[in-house]
């Protein structure tokens, strides 16, 4: 088979890498891909734009693509699955109606409330003044969210009234583009976040390994929110008992609610949970795709062929599949970011030490990289690389990841040195 992976980040490099481990897949094509996919055996990059649905469809048909896997949320929200399926292609990823669960936090919140999914109390506003008045009535800390897609950066946990008001102004002033046409204001929940990614054929739904992401730029979980600075799996805080509740109270309720709306949801449903100190949980948000960087730690642990799970979802036979098989142990990843991220940062800086990093046993997934005219790997984004380690316990996995990242250098490189700090305290 030939498989097409849509996207250019660390998640897509990990997807391509995992798919190529199968003896049933002879080639993976990435649109547009990155420096990592460009240098991987049996992998090819095609420089088409993510919104060039006609070009992508034409390429997939002419090249006899057996499976299209859509990585990022933006093309899903714009309807790429609907478009490609109308051309007869087999696509893993929800349709435009289903992708709304990520594309509109307000719509997702309404769905959760109707379905009885446990979630934080919230209100939605389309104007500045009522939003600020609501914040004053509720007090701080409080969470301010741009309603639409903001690449993981549209959320502010405001500790002061001034912070909250500034966040509201930034959203309505267009800092996040069309994502800021409305704002969702939520109660601030305390605890630990857990990412539960699940695969679904629209009828059955099965969770993957629970992971913990580190969203803040600074050590000790301080500073601005990012797209994620590191992750590990399985997250011990997501006990078997808790996962059983999540299956019933979140995953199954949500799929039923989507069915009730006439939405045939196939692909990944990702629930971002807050586990409260008393062991209860609330859903913070839903995503309609594989998490990044969670995918980079989950896929190395997967034994069941990934394409088998994807085809089972597309063909609506997930319920007939045997249980998903996982490797024993832990996986952890550390993000090497460009200096200045999540704000302004430089591009086109030469990256060295990649082969040495892999020589430690770590796996390097490229995120914001590309090949320059001399075929050297250079930086091309804010989150540049994910260095992933595995081991029989967390200490081994994280040690391997940090051993790998120590070999890599590029101008302004920054990474958190405390990934998994919560685990170390346990």
Residue bearing the bigger pLDDT, 407 or 278: 407
DSSP assignments along 356-423, one per residue: HHHHTT-EEEESSEEE-TTS-EEE-SSEEEEEEEEESSHHHHHHHHHHHHTT-B-TT-B--S-TTHHH
- Taking the C-alpha atoms of residue 206 and residue 7, their distance in angstroms, rounded to an integer, is 24
Span 250-266, mean pLDDT? 98
Residue 152 is predicted with a pLDDT of 66
pLDDT digits (tens, 9 = 90+) for 30-42: 999 999 999 999 9
The answer to whether the predicted template modeling score (pTM) of the entire model surpasses 0.75 is: yes
Residue 422 is predicted with a pLDDT of 85
- Taking the C-alpha atoms of residue 357 and residue 407, their distance in angstroms, rounded to an integer, is 5
Percent of the chain with pLDDT over 90: 92
User: CB–CB of 152/226 below 8 Å?
Assistant: yes
pLDDT at 155 over 60: yes
- Taking the C-alpha atoms of residue 297 and residue 295, their distance in angstroms, rounded to an integer, is 5
- Taking the C-alpha atoms of residue 79 and residue 96, their distance in angstroms, rounded to an integer, is 4
User: CB–CB of 192/279 below 8 Å?
Assistant: no
Residue 333 is predicted with a pLDDT of 98
pLDDT at 225 over 90: no
Residue 311 is predicted with a pLDDT of 98
Residue 336 is predicted with a pLDDT of 98
Residue 423 is predicted with a pLDDT of 85
Domains of the chain in start order, with CATH, are 2-93 (3.40.50.20), 127-181 (3.30.1490.20), 192-320 (3.30.470.20), 330-425 (3.90.600.10)
pLDDT at 393 over 70: yes
Residue 426 is predicted with a pLDDT of 55
pLDDT band at 98 (very low <50, low <70, confident <90, very high): very high
Longest pairwise C-alpha distance within the chain: 60
- Taking the C-alpha atoms of residue 214 and residue 193, their distance in angstroms, rounded to an integer, is 9
Q: Which residue is associated with the tokens 């190529």?
A: 20
């Amino acid at each position: 088979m030939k498989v097409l992976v849509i996207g250019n980040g660390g998640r897509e490099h990990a997807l391509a890498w995992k798919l190529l481990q199968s003896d049933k897949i002879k080639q993976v094509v990435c649109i547009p891909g990155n420096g990592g996919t460009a240098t991987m055996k049996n992998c090819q990059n095609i420089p088409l734009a993510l919104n060039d649905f006609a070009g992508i469809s034409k390429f997939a048909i002419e090249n006899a693509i057996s499976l299209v896997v859509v990585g990022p949320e933006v093309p899903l929200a714009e309807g790429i699955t609907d478009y490609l399926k109308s051309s007869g292609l087999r696509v893993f990823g929800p349709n435009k109606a289903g992708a709304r669960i990520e594309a509109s936090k307000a719509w997702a919140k309404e769905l959760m409330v109707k379905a009885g999914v446990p979630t934080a109390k919230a209100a939605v506003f389309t104007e500045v003044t009522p939003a600020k008045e609501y914040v004053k009535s509720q007090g701080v800390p409080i969470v301010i969210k741009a309603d639409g897609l903001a690449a993981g950066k549209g959320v502010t946990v405001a500790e002061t009234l001034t912070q909250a008001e500034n966040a509201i102004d930034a959203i309505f002033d267009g800092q996040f583009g069309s994502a800021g046409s409305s704002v969702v204001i939520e109660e601030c929940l305390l605890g630990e976040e857990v990412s539960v990614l699940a695969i679904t054929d629209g009828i059955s739904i099965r969770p993957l390994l629970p992971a913990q992401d580190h969203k803040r730029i600074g050590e000790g979980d301080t500073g601005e929110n990012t797209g994620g600075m590191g992750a590990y799996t399985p997250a011990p805080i997501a006990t078997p008992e808790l996962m059983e509740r999540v299956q019933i109270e979140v995953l199954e309720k949500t799929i039923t609610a989507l069915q009730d709306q006439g939405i045939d949801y196939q692909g990944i449903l990702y629930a971002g949970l807050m586990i409260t100190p008393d062991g209860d949980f609330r859903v913070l948000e839903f995503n309609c795709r594989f998490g990044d960087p969670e995918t980079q730690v989950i896929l190395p642990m997967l034994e069941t062929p990934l394409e088998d799970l994807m085809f089972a979802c597309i063909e609506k036979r997930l319920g007939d599949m045997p249980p998903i098989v996982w490797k024993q142990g832990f996986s952890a990843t550390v993000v090497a970011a460009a200096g200045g991220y999540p704000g302004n940062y430089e591009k086109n800086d030469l990256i060295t030490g990649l082969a040495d990093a892999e020589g430690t046993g770590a796996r390097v997934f490229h995120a914001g990289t590309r090949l320059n005219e001399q075929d050297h790997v250079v930086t091309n984004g804010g989150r540049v690389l994910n260095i992933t380690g595995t081991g029989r316990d967390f200490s081994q996995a994280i040690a391997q990841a940090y051993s790998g990242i120590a070999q890599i250098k590029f101008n302004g490189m920054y990474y958190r040195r405390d990934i998994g700090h919560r685990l170390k305290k346990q």
